[in-house]
Amino acid sequence: MGAGGQMKTEEDILKHVPVSKPPFGISDLKKAVPPHCFKRSLIRSFGSFFRDLIIIYTFYYLASTYIPLLPPTLSYVAWPLYWFAQGSILMGFWILGHECGHHAFSEYQWVDDAVGFFIHSVCLTPYFSFKYSHRSHHAHTNSIEYDEVYIPKRKADTFFSEFLNNGPGNVFTLILRTTLGLPLYLIFNTYGRDYNGFANHFLPQSGIFNDRERGQVVLSDVGIAAVLYALYQLLLTQGLKTTIFLQGIPLFVMSGFFIFLTYLNHTHPAIAHYDSTEWDWLRGALSTIDRDFGILNRVFHNANHTHGIHHLFPTIPHYHAIEAREAVKPILGEYYMYDDTPILKAMWRDTKECIYVEPDEEKKGVYWYYK
């Protein structure tokens, strides 16, 4: 079913979205959104914050207290259930930190930065560093030259278009992306924009940042170092296996969910990329895909199926995003993209189908995925 309740076929889902300039502007869309959707409630935002924090602690307490008491056969089942559950909640918690980076948590910037710094540091993501690179992503979405992440490859890059463009290559790409994608991006800028040099989210002198931002990059590093030190102390008291099982693997699962979420919201055979001759901000913002993660929608604070409205109005908090999305959909028409393909199937399909981009045969400056 589509987001509006209308059945969509596979052909409908894979049909190229319009690439002509929309007949509406961002002001038209903003007028359609109820004004209260732009209001940020400190109470509601902290309600989501403490809800996630309580669930995280509850899962941790239950796992650390009771799983070691189970017979070995049952523990083989209980541990993976804990890892999946805790990893998914951590992903939802991370999303609240991401919301802080957009000043969508509260009306107070200092509150947003303090809360976001805490959340992302706990999740081993450098808060200010990611905030600044992510801002660039929102400013240049689906620009081949200037987008910040998931820059598509070209056919001339034969390592991707030929060597990895097959079954085993697709499997390797999928496994590497979902297991190591987030740390590879943060440390080596893998899947990121070319800065003509080594780019890294932990180095203040990285080309990702300007001079005004470098001090806060150092602060982000201090936050990560503090959390790593806390994990080291836990390792000394709990032991290596317990620390890995209780903290390490859930963070690893969260990292995988991050890739599932961000990759599927920005990669699809029907979505175009643009070069500088054709790109504009509105068409870039519209080049996103809302996805249905089923039971995880609520866990992820609905970020996965309100990503389009998030790119249009990133300061709208998560608890108003669905209402805002529904308000603009009649105006967006064919420019709104929603795919309810089951997530695992969609991830495999898009890994196979979205290998590289090549120019549209008729419209200059527009690029489509090929395999």
pLDDT tens for the chain, 371 residues long, are 444 445 667 777 889 999 999 999 999 999 999 999 999 999 999 999 999 999 999 999 999 999 999 999 999 999 999 999 999 999 999 999 999 999 999 999 999 999 999 999 999 999 999 999 999 999 999 999 999 999 999 888 878 878 888 999 999 999 999 999 999 999 999 989 999 888 999 999 999 999 999 999 999 999 999 999 999 999 999 999 999 999 999 999 999 999 999 999 999 999 999 999 999 999 999 999 999 999 999 999 999 999 999 999 999 999 999 999 999 999 999 999 999 999 999 999 999 999 999 999 889 999 999 87
Query: What residue has token string 């620009």?
Result: 143
Residues 338 and 325: beta-carbon distance below 8 Å: no
Give the model's pLDDT for residue 164: 87
| 212 backbone dihedrals φ, ψ, rounded to 5° | -70, -20
Say which DSSP state 36 is in.
G
Give the model's pLDDT for residue 2: 45
Give the model's pLDDT for residue 276: 95
> At CA 330, angle to CA 328 and CA 335, rounded to 5?
80
Burial class from Cβ neighbours inside 10 Å (0-12, 13-18, 19+) for residue 97 reads: buried
Helix, strand counts (H, E) of the chain: 16, 5
Residue 63's closest CA among 96, 44, 92, 87? 87
Burial class from Cβ neighbours inside 10 Å (0-12, 13-18, 19+) for residue 239 reads: exposed
| 274 backbone dihedrals φ, ψ, rounded to 5° | -135, 145
> At CA 14, angle to CA 8 and CA 17, rounded to 5?
100
> At CA 141, angle to CA 140 and CA 147, rounded to 5?
60
Six-digit token string for 235:
């390792």
Specify the pTM: 0.95
What CA–CA distance (Å, rounded) separates 170 from 159?
Answer: 12
Say which DSSP state 165 is in.
S
What CA–CA distance (Å, rounded) separates 342 from 132?
Answer: 32
Bridge partners for 118 per DSSP: none
Six-digit token string for 302:
């609905």
What are the angstrom distances between the C-alpha of 178 and each of 77, 175, 338? 22, 5, 22
